[in-house]
Amino acid sequence: MEQLTLRGVSKSFGSLQAVNELDLSVGEGCIYGLLGPNGAGKTTTIRMIMDILAPDQGEIRILGQPNSSRVRDRVGYLPEERGLYRKMKVGHLLLFLAELKGVKKTTAKERIDYWLERFDLLGWSQKKIEELSRGMQQKLQFIVSFLHSPKLVILDEPFTGLDPVNINLVKEVMLEEKRKGTSIILSTHLMEQAEKLCDQICLINEGEKVLDGGLNEIKANYGKNTVVLEYEGQADFLTDKEVVESYDDYGKWVEIHPSPGINPQAILKRASQEVTIFKFELVEPSLNEIFIQTVQKGKE
Ligand code: ATP
C-alpha cells in the first residue's frame, strides 16, 4: 500500500508559486529523499502533508486514507523548527507526547526508557528541556517522532546540529525502522547522507519535481561517465571547457564530467601531462553531482 500520495498539490504565497502541481508516491518500508535546493518547496510540501498549511489545490492521502487529524496521529514528524516545551522535564514531556498520540502509559514508559538509553540521554530524564544542549534537544525531537511507533515518519533536516557520532546513530535508527517496515521521508540538503540512506528520491526545484525514482536506477541511467581523480599539482585542464564540462572539487579529489564527445581516456592523458595522479576511476555520478547538474539545467 502507498503510505503517502500527493496528486497535483500546489501552494502559492502571493505571487510566489512555492509548490506547483506536485505528485509523490511513497511505498512501504522505504527511505524516500525529498531533496532540493534552498527555497525549493520541501518544507512547504511537508507542512501541507501535516496540515500546518492548506494546499491551494490537489489531493493528499496518508496511509491509504484522506488526510485527517486521525490519520496524522499515526505519522511521526520532526519539524524544521524545533520547539519543545522548555520548562518541562524530559521524561514528563516524552510521556505527555506519547499519551497524546494514544500510547498507553506502561508501554510509553518502556519505550521512553528504551529510546533515552539508545540516545545516551537516560541520565537527563529529570532535567528540564532548557538545560539540554541543542544537539540533545534535537535527539529528543527525533525520539518524539518515533515514540508512537508510526508507520510513516517525516523528518525535516534531521541531522541539523548533530555531531558525527549522533548523525550515525540517527542513520542507524532510520535503517532499523525501515527494516521493520516503516516508511521514512527524509528532507535534507546533505546529499552524502541522502545517497547512503535513500531508496527513492524526489528532487524538487522552484516548487516543481525535476527528477524522481529509485536512486540506483537514476544513477545507473547516468552511466559510468564520471571521472574521480585524486592528484597533486596544478590542474589547468579542469577549466578547459573543450575537455571538462564541469567538475566538483571535494578537496582531496575532484569529480569530473567530460565535455560531450570527450572520452575519459583523453582526460587521463591531459591530467597526466599536468599533475601527479594518485587515483583515476570511472564511476556513476554522486547524488551531489546529479543534484547540481539537474538544478543547474533548470536554470539554463
Ligand atoms: P530550505 O531548504 O531553504 O529550507 P525549502 O525547500 O524547505 O527550503 P520552503 O521553505 O518550502 O523551501 O520555501 C519555498 C518558497 O516559499 C520559498 O521561496 C519561501 O520563501 C516561500 N515561503 C515559504 N513559507 C512562506 C510563507 N509562510 N510566506 C511566504 N513565503 C513563504
Q: Residue 228 pLDDT > 90, yes or no?
A: yes
Please give the pLDDT value at position 298.
Answer: 63
Number of neighbours of residue 100 by Cβ within 10 angstroms: 11
| Geometric angle at alpha carbon 113, from 110 and 116, rounded to 5° | 145
Q: Are residues 167 and 213 in the same domain?
A: yes
Task: Ligand 1 pocket test: pick from 6, 17, 34, 44 the residue with the most ligand atoms within 8 Å of its Cβ.
Answer: 44
Nearest CA to ligand 1 atom 8: 39
Q: Are residues 269 and 160 in the same domain?
A: no
Q: Under 8 Å CB-to-CB from 155, ≥6 apart: which residues?
A: 78, 142, 145, 174, 184, 185, 186, 187
- Residues 180-189, mean pLDDT to the nearest whole number: 94
Nearest CA to ligand 1 atom 23: 44
Q: Under 8 Å CB-to-CB from 164, ≥6 apart: which residues?
A: none
Q: Under 8 Å CB-to-CB from 99, ≥6 apart: which residues?
A: 105, 108
- Helix or strand or coil: residue 242? coil
- Global pTM reads 0.86
Q: Are residues 166 and 182 in the same domain?
A: yes
Q: Are residues 178 and 236 in the same domain?
A: no
Report CA(18)–ligand 1 centroid distance (Å): 7
Count: domains in the chain:
2
- Round to whole Å and give the CA distance between 46 and 51: 9
Report CA(34)–ligand 1 centroid distance (Å): 14
Report CA(239)–ligand 1 centroid distance (Å): 34
Categorize the per-residue pLDDT at 294 as very low, low, confident or very high, splitting at 50, 70 and 90.
confident
- Residues 134-158, mean pLDDT to the nearest whole number: 93
Please give the pLDDT value at position 52.
Answer: 94
- Round to whole Å and give the CA distance between 50 and 52: 6
For 236-257, the pLDDT digits (tens) are 999 999 999 889 898 888 999 8
The reply to whether 124 falls in a domain is: yes
Report CA(199)–ligand 1 centroid distance (Å): 26
Q: Are residues 208 and 125 in the same domain?
A: yes
The reply to whether 292 falls in a domain is: no
Q: Residue 295 pLDDT > 90, yes or no?
A: no
- Round to whole Å and give the CA distance between 134 and 117: 18
Q: Are residues 210 and 241 in the same domain?
A: no
- Helix or strand or coil: residue 88? coil
Q: Are residues 211 and 232 in the same domain?
A: no
Report CA(84)–ligand 1 centroid distance (Å): 22
For 254-263, the pLDDT digits (tens) are 999 899 889 8
Can you give the CATH number for the domain in which 175 is found? 3.40.50.300
The reply to whether 295 falls in a domain is: no
DSSP letter for 37, please.
Answer: S
Q: Residue 118 pLDDT > 90, yes or no?
A: yes
Q: Residue 197 pLDDT > 70, yes or no?
A: yes
Nearest CA to ligand 1 atom 30: 13
- Lining ligand 1 with CB less than 6 A are 13, 16, 18, 36, 38-44
The residue range of the domain holding 178 is 4-219
Q: Under 8 Å CB-to-CB from 129, ≥6 apart: which residues?
A: 84, 85, 86, 87, 88, 89, 90, 93, 137, 140
Q: Residue 300 pLDDT > 70, yes or no?
A: no
The reply to whether 110 falls in a domain is: yes
Report CA(148)–ligand 1 centroid distance (Å): 29
For 55-110, the pLDDT digits (tens) are 999 999 999 999 999 999 999 999 987 677 788 899 999 999 999 989 999 999 99
Q: Are residues 100 and 239 in the same domain?
A: no
Boundary residue ending a domain (167, 195, 219): 219
Q: Are residues 11 and 87 in the same domain?
A: yes
Q: Which grid coordinates are listed for 93? A: 514531556
**Helix or strand run (H / E) with residue 10:** strand 4-13
Categorize the per-residue pLDDT at 281 as very low, low, confident or very high, splitting at 50, 70 and 90.
very high
Which amino acid does the sequence have at 268? L
Q: Under 8 Å CB-to-CB from 34, ≥6 apart: which residues?
A: 24, 42, 45, 46, 185, 186, 187, 201, 202, 204
Q: Where are the beta strands (DSSP E) in 104-252?
A: 152-156, 183-187, 200-205, 208-214, 226-233, 244-249
